[in-house]
Amino acid sequence: MKAILEFDFDKEDSDDRSHFEDAVNGTKWKMFAWQFDQWLRSQTKYASDATPEEYVKALYEARDKFHDMLGEDNLSLD
């Protein structure tokens, strides 16, 4: 099975250039999202006893929201 994406850069009123960049950089965006998720995880998992509880709670909430948003768009970091 093959899939071919086609973009027309000659049209001035087209969003094809932007869509092309999104398609080409999809793997980079996924890696960025995965690295950010891992950073959030490490900040909570390895938080010192001196880290304010409110800060750690906010990180947990941010990570939960991040995963909820991924799920809403049927996206996965796996």
Residue 15 maps to a domain:
no
DSSP 76: -
Nearest-angstrom CA–CA distance, 18 and 64: 30
Domain containing 70 equals: 40-78
Question: Tell me, what's the pLDDT at 65?
Answer: 98
Contact in structure between 31 and 54 (CB atoms under 8 Å)? no
Residue 13 maps to a domain:
no
Contact in structure between 11 and 3 (CB atoms under 8 Å)? no
Model's pTM, two decimal places?
A: 0.82
pLDDT tens digits, one per residue of 34-76: 999 999 999 999 999 999 999 999 999 999 999 999 999 999 9
Nearest-angstrom CA–CA distance, 61 and 73: 19
Fill in the amino acid letter for 65: K
Residue 60 maps to a domain:
yes
Q: Which of 42, 48, 23, 37 is nearest to 71 (CA)?
A: 37
Residue 72 maps to a domain:
yes
Residue 3 maps to a domain:
no
Residue 7 maps to a domain:
no
pLDDT tens digits, one per residue of 16-30: 999 999 999 999 999
